[in-house]
A and B are shown apart, each in its own frame.
Chain A
């Protein structure tokens, strides 16, 4: 546990907590983006470059933008509404706390916690590429085919739709 880990953890937790607590939907999305970027930074801190950058690209670049776009299309930028706490939030928090306590107890008392972790392996992007191209080449190809088909399908649908509107 060094300083950078603690800082990144605080950013992540505060970001995600703010995403739940804020009243304006766009603020929530922006706060969630901060949390997701914090998770990406944690991946990078662990030396997982590929996963970290993919996290930024997918969650910050695509998912956040999609959410924001949906809100922009549907919501009107009205002033903040009154607090949206539900009436039985005390019961909810008790349930959440007890679930957390049970899970924490289970993890702490299991054999996994006593287990010492193996030394951290050095995984480079090169190795991930090799694994994808040799051992996992069939799943990769299938995924690629599926995604390309989806991409082309979306374009074909868009092309036909345009004709009808005219």
Chain B
């Protein structure tokens, strides 16, 4: 019984080895990589398709309407219709646009988004490359997406596109600082930049409880800060100023049409999944089960269960919160998130050097909660609420 479950857990690894057994040894590494890359591309593109339906239906429910319900059972084949539609649409490139850069921008965006998956452990022994510097690689690849956004906005030669790109880059740079600083606490605690060893450290249990980093004061604060920064990084509501439909049409991809437009959507969602998967890897124990008696369920199931939970939270947040203003966005990043992440680093250090026990929990918990309350109170008091004067609209 136990052996069979273990086989189910490792089924993709076993299948991979079985298929490669038929090939000559010279081409095996190459074919192994191609197979794994193809699997990642298909799986996450499919997840993107499912997420678009879930998002539209979920938002529909929140806004008291139906959402898509015509194509297929309960509208679940909608992404196929969407795909055919965007593939058959005319690809319009504005005349003054910079054609080469205009073409390269969506390609770079999608390629960079998919490259991030190389270091994400999807299940036990299921990772494309176990790099020593995995986390560093992830953030290095993430910075390529900013360049793609700039290329899209600049090459379109449109005011809306340029405004959207400027907003997007300002936002992505600002939130990259708390994103990286929030994940450093995990690197400090685990002493490794490799995603595999970070997950392995969390996949142990005391009684029935796992050792996920989110179940510590610094881990919880780090996870919350990481998720807020991740929402902003992936330009999602309430941080969707770069593509605020009511203000600047679609932001940096206003001038794109047809499948290039769909590629921007794809890149954005794939990037969002990648950051969520990184949050899972760093704080939520990667593929490990939430209780020790549930470890018989395959590891990849837990990974995707956690990923879907985070996606549903993203949809819920999008349906609930209003969009921030630009100055509020920047203030949140620099005046609240940055001091909190720096304090969180200190908390992680204190946690590391104190003996285990209730006192450690008390002190570290206070080190997170008290500054959070004081900081938000202080920032709120400085704001004078009054009728806002707009320079250009009167």
* Given known A-B contacts A72-B166, A155-B334, A33 and B147 have beta carbons under 8 A apart: yes
CB of A148 within 8 A of CB of B342, answer yes
For chain B, residues 118 to 166, give those with C-beta under 8 angstroms from any C-beta of chain A: 131-133, 136-137, 139-144, 146-147, 150-151, 154, 157, 162, 165-166
Shortest A51–chain B CB gap in Å is 10
List, in ascending order, chain B residues with CB within 8 A of A124's CB: 132
CB of B169 within 8 A of CB of A53, answer no
A4: CB under 8 A from chain B? no
Q: Which residue of the partner chain, among B143, B147, B157, contacts A77 with CB atoms under 8 Å?
A: B157
CB of B335 within 8 A of CB of A62, answer no
A19: CB under 8 A from chain B? no
Q: Which of A27, A30, A159 has the most CB of B within 10 A?
A: A30
Q: How many A-B residue pairs have CB under 8 A?
A: 84
CA distance A60 to B137 in the complex (A): 13
CA distance A61 to B140 in the complex (A): 7
Q: Which of the candidate stretches A6-14, A63-71, A82-90, A94-102 sits at the interface with the other chain?
A: A63-71
Provide the main secondary structure of the chain A interface: helix
For chain B, residues 318 to 359, give those with C-beta under 8 angstroms from any C-beta of chain A: 327, 331, 334-335, 338-339, 342
CB of A53 within 8 A of CB of B335, answer no
B173: CB under 8 A from chain A? yes
Nearest-neighbor residue (CB-CB) of A73 within chain B: B166
CA distance A62 to B180 in the complex (A): 14
List, in ascending order, chain A residues with CB within 8 A of B144's CB: 56, 60-61
CB of B335 within 8 A of CB of A159, answer yes
CB of A65 within 8 A of CB of B137, answer no
CB of A62 within 8 A of CB of B136, answer no
CB of A65 within 8 A of CB of B132, answer no
B101: CB under 8 A from chain A? yes
Interface residue tally on B, bucketed by range: 35 or more
Shortest A157–chain B CB gap in Å is 10
Q: Which residue of the partner chain, among A24, A53, A68, A151, contacts B137 with CB atoms under 8 Å?
A: A53
Interface residue tally on A, bucketed by range: 20 to 34
Q: Mark B179-192, 1 if CB is under 8 A from A, else 0.
A: 00000000000011
A112: CB under 8 A from chain B? no
Q: Which residue of the partner chain, among A49, A56, A62, A72, contacts B132 with CB atoms under 8 Å?
A: A49
Shortest A107–chain B CB gap in Å is 32
List, in ascending order, chain A residues with CB within 8 A of B249's CB: none
Kindly list 10 other residue pairs between chains A and B, CB separation below 8 angstroms, not including A30-B147, A126-B192, A151-B338: A27-B101, A30-B151, A60-B140, A60-B143, A61-B144, A61-B146, A65-B143, A72-B162, A125-B193, A155-B334
Binding site for A on B (CB under 8 A): 98, 101, 131-133, 136-137, 139-144, 146-147, 150-151, 154, 157, 162, 165-166, 169, 173, 176-177, 191-193, 327, 331, 334-335, 338-339, 342
Binding site for B on A (CB under 8 A): 24, 26-27, 30, 33, 49-50, 53-54, 56-57, 60-62, 64-65, 68-69, 72, 77, 124-126, 129, 148, 151-152, 155, 158-159, 162
